[in-house]
Amino acid sequence: MSFPSHSPYVIVGAGIHGLSTAYHLALELKAKSKGSGADILIVDKSGISAGATGIACGVVRNNYYQPAMRELMAHSVSVWESDPKAYSYHPVGYMQISSESMHEDIVSIYQQQKAIGYSSTLVEGEKDCANYMKDIFYDWQAQNITSVLHEAPGGYANNTKAMYGLATKAEAEGVRIISGVEVIGFKEDASGTITSVETNRGSIDCDYVVIGAGPWTPKIWDMLSLPKTLNIKNPVTEDMSNDVDMWIYWSLQEGTLGVDPNLQQTNDGKMPPVIHVDTDAPLYSDVDGSLITDEMWGIYYKPDFHFGGVQGGAAPFIVDKKADDVAVDPYGPESPEFIVGDDFAHMWVSALAHCQKRFSGQIGKYKNEPSGGIGAFTPDSFPVFDTFKENCFVIADSNHGYKMLGVGKLVAQSICGEKSTLLKPFRYSRYLEGDLHPVSNSPFPWS
């Protein structure tokens, strides 16, 4: 294939957002007789699923305290369910298991899930929660749990396999995907509209650009000369916080315990839901019994044959040094120290043992291999989905990415002229308007 000098639509990034947008845009163009997938070009500096998408844990859930996130996730779950085979999707469900400090939040989530027709079960009270969990796992022993929210939909997908399935669907519609193409800039006309995408292999004239660059979004953001800081209005006091950094870098903490995934089967021999536990119970070392933390902590985990074990993670931490290097290349030679903290394995496997006895004494099987990665978060830790420069749609997912398969469909519809009520709460102007998302009591910045 010769390198194209023009394409009506250029999409930057062959991860979940770029691939999903391209596939659904091809369907929209065909349905509206406005073109075809041959009008769409995806470029990626490495290849399909080579960045954050390729090392994502692949969890698909609706469990959000924020109504806008919950409705967006319900939409995305429906897209995952539309072709589970191609998307390598496992609809095993999802469980949010929490201590009393999150009880009120969880009840609110459950009530609003009912309001939008999202199937879930709420269990309340320490005794009833323990009994419910022991009916699923005979060895359940987590402490201080007073609420369990069990979502029937959701689950997880095998990350790279799902993306190759999505790429196959896109290419079947005529979409072109070219690897080894790094974006180095953009050309604009006098009005500021983008006229071409500049790459290391030449210039591509275009009519529309979509940015789906994951943790590299800040680098593209700078190329577009978009603001490095912004002003945020407090929705309660209406006070302004000025010159807030647009991007915050967090190191995502994930890993795999190299046991047989079947070890995590339920009492009836089935593959279990994805488990997420947030608790204020003291966490003690499964190695020597020492106190790891007496503050709120959280983990998530699932059996995963793609990762070859039980895979999951814990709360991330802010990267407070070398941020400029991280912004240039989140997975480059300057940043591997930020991928997983030295004490992650000890904490996470001890937390697994706190929850289920079967994991006690297993820390020696932890896989010491890269996982997690650097996430580029917005000031409020929620996505920005919006149009800039008149013809450039930026998908800045703030590390909510993998589960958001449906965002690409909404972006495609938006490009074709349909207004999206699901995307509106994630517009860039919300910061200045003070139309912010509510904050939960979860220890995770994205919940």
For residue 219, report the phi and psi dihedrals to the nearest 5 degrees.
-65, -45
Q: Is residue 163 part of a domain?
A: yes
Q: What distances in angstroms separate CA 25 from CA 64, 193, 210, 337, one per listed residue?
A: 27, 21, 11, 38
Number of domains in the chain: 1
The percent of residues in the chain predicted with pLDDT above 90, rounded, is: 77
Q: By CB neighbour count within 10 A (0-12 exposed, 13-18 middle, 19+ buried), where does 41 fall? A: buried
> Cα separation of 421 and 427, whole Å?
11
Q: By CB neighbour count within 10 A (0-12 exposed, 13-18 middle, 19+ buried), where does 171 fall? A: middle
Q: Is residue 128 part of a domain?
A: no
How much is the average pLDDT of 310-336? 62
233 Cβ partners below 8 Å, 6+ apart?
Answer: 239, 240, 431, 432, 433, 434
Q: Is residue 310 part of a domain?
A: no
Q: Is residue 206 part of a domain?
A: yes
Q: Is residue 186 part of a domain?
A: yes
The two beta strands, 183-188 and 120-124, are unpaired
Model confidence over 189-230: pLDDT tens digits? 999 999 999 999 999 999 999 999 998 999 999 999 999 999
H-state helical runs in 121-211: 126-136, 159-172
Q: Are 43 and 199 in contact (CB under 8 A)?
A: yes
Whole-prediction pTM? 0.92
Q: Residue 421: give the domain boundaries.
A: 1-58+158-244+383-447
CATH number at residue 162: 3.50.50.60
How much is the average pLDDT of 230-236? 93
Model confidence over 109-134: pLDDT tens digits? 999 999 999 999 999 999 999 999 99
What length does the chain have? Answer: 447
Model confidence over 17-41: pLDDT tens digits? 999 999 999 999 999 999 999 999 9
> Cα separation of 332 and 50, whole Å?
12
Which tokens sit at 424?
């509106």
Model confidence over 249-261: pLDDT tens digits? 887 788 899 999 9
| 3-class DSSP state of 35 | coil
Q: Is residue 239 part of a domain?
A: yes
pLDDT-based confidence at 333, cuts 50/70/90?
very low
Q: Is residue 108 part of a domain?
A: no
Q: Is residue 214 part of a domain?
A: yes
